[in-house]
Amino acid sequence: MRPLVCDWGVPLSRCQPGPRQTNVSMLHFSIEAEEKRVVMAGKWDSPLKRLVEDYPQDFVSWLLQHATFERVLKTELSHRIIHTDMLLEVTKQGHRCALHLEFQAESDPHMAKRLWEYNVRATIQYGCPVYSYVVYLKKNVQVTRSPYQVMLPDGQEVHRFQFGVIELAEIEPEDLQRVGAKALLPLLPLTRGGKRHEVVDAAIASLTASGEVPDAELLVFAFEFASLVFNEEPDRQWLRRRFSVFNDILRETWVFQEIMQEGEEKGLKKGLEELRQALLDVVQARFPELSFLARGQIAFIEDLEVLRSLIVKMSTAQTIEEAQQRLLEVGRGASGH
């Protein structure tokens, strides 16, 4: 039997259910916890979602023995709109079912409840049983344990939900390699002791084996995950040098192009926010009576040059009437009038 393969009711290694949980007093997500989860999702969860979408069978084989990937299901669940991280339709032992994955980079005391809710909704929506797993991407986070229970006031159990737990930081790199799924190799830096140059070298060696065409897309994922754990500048410099030999190959991949586009969009958004704030600071300092007008007029300006020009105009306006006229003009331009 291959190591680290978790099956329903027979979880192995770090997939073992934890002690029974009886404290279910928290019934609602806190706004702060949910916002924090969403922020972290962009940095840690997004590349893993793309990886699973590109290599679904590797993840299905890792988590469900003797199961075959069929298709990616919509992650949007009906009724109250909620989204799972990943939902795959699979066939296991001749039966149609689904594999539900959540990727977690931060502590979330409501994780078990979320898994339960997603599982129930997916089961109803797609009419098949659903295997649920939470994959923890970082160490030193609060790990939720199976099962999730809901108790009535008299102590009677009304719901019991079993789910699998994967803690990448507690898996040895060699164990993950032995699974034999190439799509798991980019995750090696996230494993126990994976923040080492030799671990990254091992992943690269496996993805560029002699006699085989290098898997460019998985190399991009390998670099992306390694960059999340190598935080010191000497390590970052080494990482850039190590992957620089693959520059020509990597630039041609859709994954690299998508990452670059995301970076450009984030840079534009940050630039717009900074210029809007700079403009508001100028208006507040010189013409505080126009602050409310300025905020409304510039909210929908998406052109950096327009904002820079307006900052100059607000800085040089001689009267409040002139400043107001400039704001009204740019507002009409932004609205297409």
206-263: pLDDT as tens digits: 888 766 666 778 888 888 888 888 888 888 888 888 877 676 555 555 545 555 555 5
Find the range with the poorest average confidence among 104-108, 151-155, 224-228, 246-250: 246-250
Tokens read off for 153: 């006031």
Q: Do 52 and 128 reside in the same domain of the chain?
A: yes
77 located within any domain: yes
Report the C-alpha gap between 34 and 37 in whole angstroms.
Answer: 5
- Report the predicted TM-score, pTM, of the whole model to 2 decimal places: 0.61
Of the residues 106, 139, 170, which one is the last residue of a structural domain?
Answer: 170
Number of Cβ within a 10 Å radius of residue 280: 16
pLDDT of residue 112: 93
Give the dihedral sign, CA 93/165/171/105. Answer: positive
Exposed e or buried b per residue across 65-85, where buried means at least 16 C-beta atoms within 10 angstroms of its C-beta:
bebebbeebebebeeeeeebb
Q: Which domain holds residue 242?
A: 192-252
pLDDT of residue 79: 55
- At 180, the amino acid letter reads G
pLDDT of residue 268: 65
Report the number of distinct structural domains present in the chain: 3
pLDDT of residue 190: 93
Of the residues 138, 170, 202, which one is the last residue of a structural domain?
Answer: 170
Q: Do 220 and 129 reside in the same domain of the chain?
A: no
Q: For the chain, what is the mean pLDDT?
A: 78
Mean pLDDT, residues 266-288 taken together: 79
Mean pLDDT, residues 313-327 taken together: 86
pLDDT of residue 295: 83
